[in-house]
Structure 1
Amino acid sequence: MPTADDVRVNPASLPRRIVSYAFKEPVLAILVVVLAVLQGTRPQPWLVLPRLVDWPTVLTLAGLLMLTKAIELSGLLMWLAHRVVHHVRTERALAGLLIGLAAVLSMFVTNDVALFVVVPLVLSLHALTPLPVKRLTIFLALAVNAGSILTPLGNPQNLFLWQVGGVSFGHFVWALAPLTAVLMAMLYLLTFLAFKGKSLDLSKDAAKEHVDRAYAGVAAVLFAAFVLLADSHHPGIGLVGVAGGFLLWRRDAVLKIDWALLLIFVLMFIVLRSVAALPWVHDTVARLGLQSPLRAYVAGAVLSQGISNVPAAIMLAEFTKDWRALAYGVSVGGFGVAIGSLANLIAVRLSKTRGIWLPFHLVSIPFWFVAVALGGWLLTHP
């Protein structure tokens, strides 16, 4: 009779494991399949493929993943979240506070990390008093998509466009501030209408999380230093310092990051740039005239609905040098259908709420239409 160890190493179980992992990481699986098809139909030397990767962006993303993981593991974010909501009195006030918290966090620790803090917070508060978890989850997804637009650290597409544009951190923030302000104003107006002034009692909630102050403090200092190095176009030096320091002191900040996300990003560059180089694709997109800021904006907003805003940014950057127009387009593209932004999928997954997809799209698709119109107006009336 086979032992448990025999089962674990049994080659016959390998296909099942591969299929299971593919369902767990569908984006990664699709990229691998597309790369295999491309190499089968229009093969390129394997040693050439790494040249298609924008390594400064990948290095910057790796450093930010380590630093945000360290801040998360220190317990600081969850402690802060509980402290912030401690004196809330109404459902509407709680919704507004959580949306603001999610938006601000997403500006500095990425939209994904913000969701990993705020959605579990909603679930823990729901154990104290009944909350509209489904509705809150939808609005939190919108909040991190809107808030993360402001800074290069907010989401992967911003990080990429910041590196490609070659502009300073402050210049990027200044350029994206009008769109962020308009979308957040829209979101708060919608929040006022969607949530009631119903009384809540969260006074029994107490932050029980332990905060490792040394861990949080070192991570905060390194975070500032890393951003300065990335801003001066030296992310490699910053990454060596961050990774080396944490491996010697707190290696969990390195070992527990989302390595699949890094691999997905590398493959996105290889696959999408290879696809963009295909003659028929290149000719088709070139005929769209993306040198026009408004056309580049619309292309980013629309293409994101089909392939998500990160790959849309990478692909369209091959056809336009107007990083601001493209940033506006793919930022607005995070709304609409759920696949427009991976943050949408993460929010729904964390909430563990059934029947959320229809309500999500009933809110997000109209929001996208209005956002596209307002974003286009802002872009053409600086």
Structure 2
Amino acid sequence: MLRSVLSRVTEDYLLLALLLLLPILLWLQPAAPSGLVALVDWHTVAALAGLMLLSKALEASGYLARFASVLLGWCHTERRLAQLLLLFAALLSAIVTNDVALFILLPIALSIGRLSGMAVGRLVIFLALAVNAGSSLTPIGNPQNLLLWQASGYSFWQFTLMMAPLALSLLLMILLLSCIAFAATRLTIKVPHNNNSDNRRLFGWSLAGYPLFILAMEYQLAPYAAVGLLATYFILKRSVVKAIDWLLLLVFILMFINLGLLAQMPLLQPLAIQIMAIPDGSYVGGALLSQLISNVPAAIFLQNFTTDWRALSFGVSVGGFGLAIGSLANLIALRLSQQQGLWREFHCWSLPMFVLSLLLGWLLL
């Protein structure tokens, strides 16, 4: 068990980078252990753990594979299937946040790969791009929008109308790229068979758990709900608990600590002031800083230096593309897909998307 964990750590370059960066940051910005614990958003970590358990249970039930087979029956080509899923992902992410949309759709995408033989890695990449685009539309689509919406004082619909040109343009760009990325070849379907009562029960109460857990997240009860889910699955379906990628939680905890220490460094404040002084500094600063510390911390940090909420909101939305660290949704998609070589291919699509969307956002502003 220990050997397999160590093997996975050595293959996870992001986790290794975070582990190596931590002592350097602690040397530059000393902090007590209690201070490091306080840097972690434990509600987010608990929410991530709960959603991982629910999505893995739904996948283990086999009923998502049956839904995938129905979807394959409607869409006979790779391109049509991909575009349908991308549109659904974008719409869903605007309503239930980009992370939740991924936890719902990733198991379906993986099932599609198993049933059709389709190379699912590229589909996972485009799903990550689509939820980043779709979630930028509304104040509740992602954490950075929620933060900037509250700081701006705009109404829900004012913020949505402000973001609509960018979000719709980004989605259109992703759909056009999908015409290049996915072929018009026909898909073959292997129909799954899983009608036993155990699978039905697992699917039923896992599906019912989704809205209840999201409600718990809304009322800041995610840690308690996650512990309850963990105990339930450990007793009733232990294989679900064993199948979870627990190292992903460690990645998020280390990211909170490292980024928190980085944001506290005095040298970043003069840098932010200099960035804001350049033309369209709020927009460019939001996009570029997201490439270094992710778009949520970038929004938290830069909101103190600007009142141009439209430019900053555009910037951190565009910043979700580019490097994988630009958006936590990217990391979730890449980790949970467990596809070999996906990080390199992700950047082959995401980096050009960042350049194009950066230009697009600047033209819209």
The 1-side partners of 2:17 and 2:29 are apart by 18
Which residue does 1:214 correspond to in 2?
Answer: 201
Bigger Rg over Cα: 1
Which residue does 1:31 correspond to in 2?
Answer: 18
How far is 1:329 from its partner?
Answer: 3.4
Cα gap change, 1:305 to 1:30, in 2 (>3 Å): same
1:1-382 matches, within 5 Å, as 20-100=7-87, 103=90, 107=98, 109-111=100-102, 114-119=105-110, 121-122=112-113, 124-126=115-117, 139-147=126-134, 149=136, 158-159=142-143, 162=146, 175=160, 178=164, 179-192=166-179, 198=184, 200=186, 202=188, 205-208=190-193, 212-289=199-276, 295-306=281-292, 309=294, 312-320=295-303, 328-337=314-323, 340-341=326-327, 343=330, 346=334, 352=340, 357=344, 361=348, 363-375=349-361
Tell me the amino acid that sits aligned with residue 181 of structure 1: L
Tell me the amino acid that sits aligned with residue 334 of structure 2: I
Q: Give the conservation status (yes or no) of the 8 Å contact 2:143–2:296.
A: no
How far is 1:91 from its partner?
Answer: 4.8
The 2-side partners of 1:230 and 1:30 are apart by 30
Cα gap change, 1:359 to 1:101, in 2 (>3 Å): same
What SS is found at the alignment partner of 2:84? Answer: helix
What SS is found at the alignment partner of 2:275? Answer: coil
Instruction: Name the Cα RMSD after superposition.
Output: 4.4
Tell me the amino acid that sits aligned with residue 333 of structure 1: G
The 1-side partners of 2:68 and 2:138 are apart by 21
How far is 1:51 from its partner?
Answer: 1.4
Cα gap change, 1:55 to 1:377, in 2 (>3 Å): farther
How far is 1:47 from its partner?
Answer: 2.4
Q: Give the conservation status (yes or no) of the 8 Å contact 2:106–2:337.
A: no
Q: Give the conservation status (yes or no) of the 8 Å contact 1:63–1:242.
A: yes
Which residue does 1:5 correspond to in 2?
Answer: none
The 1-side partners of 2:192 and 2:186 are apart by 18
What SS is found at the alignment partner of 1:85? Answer: helix
The structure whose residues are more often helix, as a share, is 2
Q: Give the conservation status (yes or no) of the 8 Å contact 1:75–1:209.
A: yes
Q: Give the conservation status (yes or no) of the 8 Å contact 1:247–1:254.
A: yes
The 2-side partners of 1:190 and 1:41 are apart by 43
Cα distance per residue 1:148-183 (max 9 Å; x no partner): 5568997xxx3576589779xx959x7497354332
Cα distance per residue 1:287-323 (max 9 Å; x no partner): 4349x9x64443332233345x3xx422551342689
What SS is found at the alignment partner of 2:34? Answer: coil
Tell me the amino acid that sits aligned with residue 300 of structure 2: A
Cα gap change, 1:76 to 1:286, in 2 (>3 Å): farther
The 2-side partners of 1:194 and 1:40 are apart by 45
What SS is found at the alignment partner of 1:233? Answer: coil
Unaligned segments of structure 1, at least 5 residues: 1-7
TM-score, with length taken from structure 1: 0.70
How far is 1:50 from its partner?
Answer: 0.9
Tell me the amino acid that sits aligned with residue 38 of structure 2: R
The 2-side partners of 1:94 and 1:193 are apart by 14
How far is 1:224 from its partner?
Answer: 0.6
The 1-side partners of 2:327 and 2:24 are apart by 25
- After alignment, is 142-151 or 72-81 more displaced? 142-151
The 2-side partners of 1:222 and 1:266 are apart by 25
The 2-side partners of 1:31 and 1:372 are apart by 27
Which residue does 1:3 correspond to in 2?
Answer: none
Cα gap change, 1:306 to 1:260, in 2 (>3 Å): same
Q: Give the conservation status (yes or no) of the 8 Å contact 2:322–2:353.
A: yes
What SS is found at the alignment partner of 2:69? Answer: helix
Cα gap change, 1:59 to 1:133, in 2 (>3 Å): closer
Cα gap change, 1:273 to 1:240, in 2 (>3 Å): same
Q: Give the conservation status (yes or no) of the 8 Å contact 1:103–1:144.
A: yes
Q: Give the conservation status (yes or no) of the 8 Å contact 2:60–2:240.
A: yes
How far is 1:189 from its partner?
Answer: 3.5
TM-score, with length taken from structure 2: 0.73
The 2-side partners of 1:254 and 1:17 are apart by 15
Q: Give the conservation status (yes or no) of the 8 Å contact 2:321–2:351.
A: yes
Cα gap change, 1:70 to 1:303, in 2 (>3 Å): same
How far is 1:146 from its partner?
Answer: 3.2
How far is 1:36 from its partner?
Answer: 1.4
